[in-house]
Chains A and B, each alone.
Chain A
Amino acid sequence: MAIAHEFEYFKPESLKEAINLAAKFGEKGRPLAGGTDLVVKINDEIEFPDAVIDLKGIDELKKLELKDGKLFIGPLVTFTELINSPVVRDKFPLLREASGTVASSGVRNRATLVGNICSAVPSLDSGTPLLVYQAEVLVKSKDGERTIPIGEWFTGPKKNALKPGEIVVGVTIDEITGKQGGCYVKLGRYRGEDLAQVGIGILSLENNEYRIAFCAVGPVAARAEKIENLLNGKELTDEIIGEAKKLVPEEISPIDDIRATGEYRMHMAEVMLVRGLKEATARLNGEGTEYGTSVI
């Protein structure tokens, strides 16, 4: 691959150095983690950065740990590392399930979760688990630190709340107290790797609490609050699921594109909500399939 675009390449050894570079180049500087999006975009001449700031030399950004009830995911943590982490497996099974559907194993070995939310495509697989686990994004710049709730992170298709000069230094998720059952349902065109045409992440918690988020069926991945409000506090019955299904058109705005029509996306969002809700709740009760088993 011959990349025609010319840019400066930096590989800082400290976060401070990286932040200085981010400040210096602003919008024209792009941090590099896994590179599975950025390098492709530069090669395809979609992005033309003046500077690429490679974060891979900064050890503190590789951290993945559960501490004081909070999971910390550094920007260099790959999807494969998430999938292989016993902590993620035991405490955040929905995040693990969704991570397993990202691209192919080769890409997952390099691609990072933080890179995924920075690219912020509407179909991102990490979006719905982070939304239902109510994650927060930690960002740093020369001016200081901010914490952005994931619900405010996605600001539009391929857009996020990061300001020029800021670098994401981690994502945190509070541990769920009590039991949980999760289900990530992803619609692809075949069984191999694909971008979600519809994605739905569902967390079924004790006391009939349900958290639901969609991706790929609107400009950003987002929680389905009307459906959640309808369901919360109620036992799942066929009747209530039927009512929830009727609310789907109010929650999402799928479009026609090369991957699917809006009509099929809408139809599948309904099917996937019904199956996902049942499966997440079955898993909550220890009766569901193993995580990673697709319900569609």
Chain B
Amino acid sequence: MEELKFVGKSLPRIDSKEKLTGAAQYVDDLEFGPNLLYAEIVESTEAFARVTKVDTSEAEKITGVVKVITGKDFPYKFGLYMKDRFILAQDVVRFVGEQVAAVIARDPKIARRAAKLVKVEYEPFTPVFDQMEAIKKDPILIHPDLGEYPHVPWFYPKAGTNIAHWKKVRVGDMEKGFEEADVIVEDTYFVPRYAHCCMETHNAVGLLDYSGRLTVWSSSQSPHTQRNLFAEALSPLGFTHKDVRVITPYIGGGFGGKAGVTMEILAAAFATKVKGNPVKVRWTRAQEFYNTYMRQAVVSKLKLGAKKDGTIVAFEGTNYWDAGPYVEYGANVVNASGISAAGPYRIPNVKIDSLCIYTNLPAAGPYRGFGYSEMMFGVESQMERMAKKLGMNSVEFRKKNAFKGGDILVYGAPINDNGYNECIDKVAQAIDFGKKEVSDDPNKVIGKGIAAAWKGPAMPPNASSAAFIKFSEDGSINILVSGIDMGQGYLTVMAQIAAEILTVPLDKIRTENPDTDRNPYEWQTVASHVTWSCGNAVKRAAMNAREQIFDTVHAAYLFDKSTLYLEDECVKCTLKPDFALPLKDFVIDGIMVKDGTFRGGPIMGKGMFMPEFSSTKGDPETGIGGKPNVHYTVGAGGVVIEIDKETGKVKVLKTAQAYDIGKAINPSLVEGQVYGGFMQGLATALFEDMRFGEDGSILNPNFTDYKIPTALDIPDEMIPIIVEVPQNDGPYGARGVGEHVMIPVMPSIANAVEDALGIRIKSMPITAEKIALAIKAGLKEVD
């Protein structure tokens, strides 16, 4: 194999200097001049109610108020996978904090004061906050018209219930499967809601200029998808896609929370009411918790059967998801994780039901891991319990049953080649799994836990990426793409891929942030798919540019194209060792030939990638058929923890995390993902927890009581391990890793707690309090 010069190297991020010096601009940094207006939202105080009256008259009297907007101004629905929400509430509100009206004013203080004067009257219904309640007999329906909502073909809503989507998987014969089992383990697990907590809260600015062009600057993972949904939702006002433009500068974190469209639609819609004036909508931290997306809570009822020799023969599971009142994105979390809810294991008999259930808590949706972290907590806890019952080492038990490349997945297609066994072996070795360690402190005990991770990108089968590569006179490059660098290093990785083909060093490459007018299409930066998908597009664009370069040289010098190659920013020829034509000499102006005319012209590569082998055409009753997942990234995580038996406090002494990512385009960025993902997962395992009052309000919409990890919570030792079994359709063999790094953390901690104390905890988070009180009460299991 040819030696790679840029790919596979831990090169510094191309955006680091900008970000470290503060030069990098975010939406709220952009200047919009003196005409900028500010919108303040009037939020529902009820979790579920009919809106009987919205009186805006007092607010309209305030000097400085430009416009007061109510739901009646925009009776338009929107949604990514299912159209189940309105721009502003119409007749019914379905969660506390929902947008009912808005005040647009010249000053944010005035907007806030006036918003308080908007009087909303409600006729409350009985809300339902618990997904198990919502599916009981004769429930109060949160969406009585569910049967009429447009949705993607792979959703199966149950009209007349609160079940927005029911994903089924049926393989083999369950009765026979459990009959063959020597040991059966059956448990119920619970994972609560969590919030993303991006450093930068959601904010967006909309402007409808006098030419009829609607531009939205937004902090988003999905500029092209936003453009599409804005154009769709506002089409009754006469907008077509060409009129709508979304610009996304740097964003301060995403984690899935800035995927799709949430509050940004307000900026787009409001702008249409104040033509000529930009209008800003900016969420406070509390609004960030209430009215973007949260992670869904889940109750998992699982039953696992295995033979004495450790062969898993049957898996039955039902996951009940609390998805909130709008599931236009969240239902796909249920769907995607539902496909994979038996874990990365070869099991002949599988029955999985995944229910996406409407409730009156705030809307839930995508969050790093897309349902896999939640469902894998139960799955990997079960695997540990089963191994214990069988008297097997749980690593050997997992390896015995793990999918190998070519094994058939539940939907009937083979899984890609993967290094699962290598990952888990390396993790086990790094933490000396199976070897008991004793603390020097008599109050403390040490435990070890391990868990598997797997995930496929959750995306429509035809989600695509596109790229342009433009050369300039000095041979430098601008890469135009529409993915988002939200900390993961996407801009750098795209530059490395282009550099590898075009031999242009990174200091001569800029990867541009998206502007849907200028940058080509990208579906969204979600699903851990952009390195793979957009990486392919950029690689193709670079190859296309290279082809144009060779065409130019061929036209001017008549060298056979097959003899040409690029090296050190020059075109070289295998037959002419002295020939080295610098790119900068011709990539804009072309090459002059003997008669003074020119050959070639501006080099501009284009490339796109759409998987042409993926399909969601499965049987709704069995889930069999199609190929919904383009591939899986697998891995494993292990922890060594120390628990203070009196206080219940857990300290992570060491963690090792191994992922088979096909090819690390930039190993240090991959390690960054592992560190960050582990910490995010650790917090969900130990102390994060969204709490709600009896009225459906959030008790901790702030960092005083919603705790996210700090530098002090980082383990003493973190060992990232990169395994590389190439992805044959990935750029240089790469697969995604962004989300996977969170997935094994919760179960590995729970497994380590059991190893240390003999206590099995089946609900998240495993707080110090939960542990201490379980020890005090002498419990062996905690629900």
Contacts and interface: CB of A to CB of B under 8 A. Distances in A.
Interface in A159-192: 187, 189-192
Interface residues of A, number: 21
A3 B700 CA distance: 21
A187 to B, nearest CB: 8
B713 A192 contact: yes
Given A193-B710, A296-B647, A267 B705 contact: no
B768 A191 contact: no
A247 interface: no
Interface stretch (A22-30, A75-83, A137-145, A255-263): A255-263
**Which size bracket describes the interface of B in this complex?**
20 to 34
Nearest to B704: A195
A190 B687 contact: yes
Interface stretch (B110-118, B462-470, B581-589, B731-739): B110-118
Nearest to A194: B707
B773 A267 contact: yes
Interface in B711-737: 711-713
B123 interface: no
A190 B769 contact: no
Given A189-B687, A190-B709, A4 B772 contact: no
A252 B616 CA distance: 61
Nearest to B700: A258
A39 interface: no
A271 interface: yes
Given A190-B710, A261-B769, A268 B705 contact: no
Given A259-B705, A263-B773, A268-B772, A191 B700 contact: no
B672 interface: no
A264 B776 CA distance: 10
A53 to B, nearest CB: 21
A2 interface: yes
A264 B700 contact: no
Contact of A264 (B112, B644, B773): B773
Contacts of B116: 4
Interface in B618-667: 644, 646-647, 649
Contact of B707 (A189, A261, A263): A189
Contact of A260 (B38, B108, B112, B769): B769
A191 B647 contact: no
Contact of A192 (B700, B705, B712, B769): B712
Nearest to B286: A44
Interface in B85-112: 107-109, 111-112
B476 interface: no
Interface in A176-223: 187, 189-195
Interface of A is mostly: loop
B152 interface: no
Contacts of B686: 190
B647 A268 contact: yes
Contacts of A261: 769, 773
B478 interface: no
B713 A191 contact: yes
B113 A4 contact: yes
A190 B707 contact: yes
A191 B710 contact: yes
B450 to A, nearest CB: 23
Contacts of B700: 258
B488 interface: no
A247 to B, nearest CB: 18
Contacts of B38: 2
A258 B776 CA distance: 21
A296 B444 CA distance: 11
Contacts of A2: 38, 107-109, 111-112
B691 interface: yes
B713 A190 contact: yes
B110 to A, nearest CB: 9
Contacts of B113: 4
Interface in B690-712: 691, 699-700, 704-705, 707, 709-712
A271 B112 contact: no
Nearest to B702: A44
A267 B112 contact: no
A194 to B, nearest CB: 7
Interface in A242-294: 258-261, 263-264, 267-268, 271
A271 B769 contact: no
A189 B705 CA distance: 9
Contacts of B109: 2-4
Interface string A105-136: 00000000000000000000000000000000
Interface of B: 38, 107-109, 111-113, 116, 644, 646-647, 649, 683, 686-687, 691, 699-700, 704-705, 707, 709-713, 767-769, 772-773, 776
8 contacts: A2-B111, A190-B712, A192-B709, A192-B711, A194-B707, A261-B773, A263-B773, A296-B647
